[in-house]
Every structure is written in C-alpha cells, then in structure tokens.
Amino acid sequence: MQAPVLVLNEQTQRETGHRAQLTNIAAAKAVSDIIRTTLGPRAMLKMILDASGGIVLTNDGNSILREIDVNHPAAKSIIELSKTQDEEVGDGTTSVSVLAGELLSLSEQFLERNIHPTVIVNGFFQALKDAVAIAEELSMQIDVNKPGELDKVVASCVGTKYVSRYGDLMVKIAIDAVNTVKVEDGDRITADFKNYAKVEKIPGGDLNESKVLSGVMFNKDVVSGTMRRRIENPRIVLLDTPVQYQKGESQTNIELTKGEDFQRLMQLEEEYVQKICDDILKLNPDVVISEKGISDLALHFFSKKNVSCIRRLRKTDNNRVARALFFFGSGRRVMLALEQDFLK
C-alpha cells in the first residue's frame, strides 16, 4: 500500500506524541504570561501599537490578546478563550487566560510521569465540580432593584481597570446605560448593550463630564444651514434607501437626436425625485433621516416644506434612532422603509 502524500508549507513543523504535548503547554503558557502582570488591583498597563498605528493603554486581557498575531494552535486557543469570556460574561478575560495557563503548567508534571491525558482531564472535571459546589455555597442573592447592591458588583469589575480613579462615576454610567437599553419580557430581561449602547468620544472636556443620554447621539448635522436643528416631538421618517435618481443596474445606452430630448431626460429624472419626495411628504414628517444620499433637488422640496434632513447615517445609528423612539417616545411615529417599493 502506497504511503499518503502530504503537501505542506516548507516552514510547517510537525510534532507528535509527548513532544507535541509539551510544546502545546509551552505555547499556552507563553500567551498567558503576557497578561499575567495585568491581573489584580496592582496590575500594570500594557502599551499596544495596533494595526492602524494607534497606541492603546489597557490592562484588559481580551483587548491585549486580540492584538497579538500568533500561529500556534494552542496559543490561539487561549486567545479564543479570552474572546469567548468577553462575549459571554464581559469580565474575567485576564483571569481565564492566566488560570488556563497555570492549569496546563500543573499538568506538565503528570505528563512527565507518563499519566495519560484523559486521566488528567478527568481530574480537572472533578476539580470543576468541587469548585462549582464551593462557589454555590459562597454565593448570595442580589436584588438588582435595591440601591447599592448592584453598585458593589459593578465596582468589582471596574476596580482593576484604568478608570478605577473615576470608579463611582463609571459604576453609575455603566448601570444607567444597561438600564436604559434593557427590555423586560415577563421574567426575562434582555440588555443588548453592544448594539444599542454606544460610546461617543468627543475631544475636549473632562472625564467627569461623561453621562448617559436617554436617546441617540451621532456626529451629524442637518444638510442645509436653513433647516431646523431643534424640534420638539418630531415626526421622523427613517430611510435606508437613497432619495435621488438611481442609475441602472446594467449598462444603459441612450441615443439623443435633438436638444429637446436631453431636456426631457432631465425632466424625467426630476419627476422621479419629486415623486419620491411627494410620497415621503404625505407622511407629514418633521425630520427625514436616510442611510444613503439625498439629492440637492430633494433637499429643495424638503426645505420648502420646512423638513430637516440628515443623510448618510450609519445603519447602526439608524437602528438606534428607531429603537429609542419606539421605547422612549410618546406620540411619535417612526417609519422605516426597508424596500425600494415603498417609494414607488
């Protein structure tokens, strides 16, 4: 029987058996040792140069490890472990990486005594059961509606971060932000803060001036200086389609024989834009927000009706506006045009 042919990169190294186990442990320990000094109340910050050339100062395990470029599969597993911890829990990214590296380091002595890996893994599972049992005995119920109790939990997460000197402010901001976006559905509480809680950074000022807004803030101005900037209880139309003449999806050739034909072509484009604007103005809006462009002709029609316009808004911000008006707005109407047919 002919031996299988493997086509690998010239720099690929293949290891098996006991040597591969020790190499995996060494690689995992090397990654965990990188962030070991960032753990605890006396943790040091790491200065990281990211891909875009910016400098980041942080002691968050996931923020550090995601900037590291590694090729070893065991080292990648430690990085994925920290990433999963951040997505599922939001805290403890450094602890899980350091703990995983320490457990692998302790298992090395058992491998040296030729104990099979499955026996070592069974021992870890038994230790996990004992640790969970002890944690349940030490745990206590927390009433999230009682002032002070939830603050202590959040303060324990913020205490090791760089902003710990503004601990009370950061705790208040974190709790207010989650309470602002949370949705109660019976006994289930959902807080999708990653999509609906946004951190807007504005140069200048002091960190003590930071606060939570019960609404949406985005760095956009109205298209024209003559449009209203302050409107109370507005009627808002949210669009994800352009309010302008669109080019054909395929190559289109038009043959013009007279000057009147060109004028008629321009007139058809104006009529198309005017029809779109008329359909929107039938809803009697005060503000029109679009993710795409708004032509100058459309702005002319909107300005005549005293309608303020904001164009090229991010889709995430557009969704936040819809959610904010739906949950916090009384007497406000939100229309989201998801299909081009809406404007036909």
Tell me what the mean pLDDT of segment 29-44 comes to: 83
Q: Is the pLDDT of residue 344 over 50?
A: no
Question: Helices 149-158 and 167-181: crossing angle, nearest 10°?
Answer: 120
Per-residue pLDDT of 209-257, as tens digits, reads: 888 888 788 888 888 888 888 888 888 888 888 888 776 666 777 777 7
Which pLDDT does position 162 carry in this prediction? 66
Give the pLDDT confidence score for residue 210 in this predicted structure. 86
Q: What is the mean pLDDT of the chain?
A: 80
Q: How far is CA 178 from the centre of its chain?
A: 15
pLDDT at residue 127, as a whole number: 92
Weakest-pLDDT range from 78-87, 117-126, 244-253, 318-327: 244-253
In a 10 Å sphere around its CB, with 0-12 CB exposed, 13-18 middle and 19+ buried, how is residue 83 labelled? Answer: middle
Least confident range of 91-95, 208-212, 307-311, 339-343 = 339-343
Cα–Cα distance measured from residue 296 to residue 223, given in angstroms and rounded to the nearest whole number? 10
Task: Report pTM.
Answer: 0.63
Residue that wins the pLDDT comparison between 127 and 13: 127
Has residue 318 got a pLDDT over 90?
A: no
Range with lowest mean pLDDT among 128-132, 178-182, 283-287: 178-182
Residue 329 or 308, more confident? 308
Residue 341 has pLDDT above 50, yes or no: no
Dump pLDDT digits (tens) for 72-116. Answer: 888 888 888 888 888 888 788 888 888 988 998 888 888 888 888
- Given a cut of 80, is residue 342 above it in pLDDT? no
Indicate if the pLDDT at residue 328 is higher than 80: no
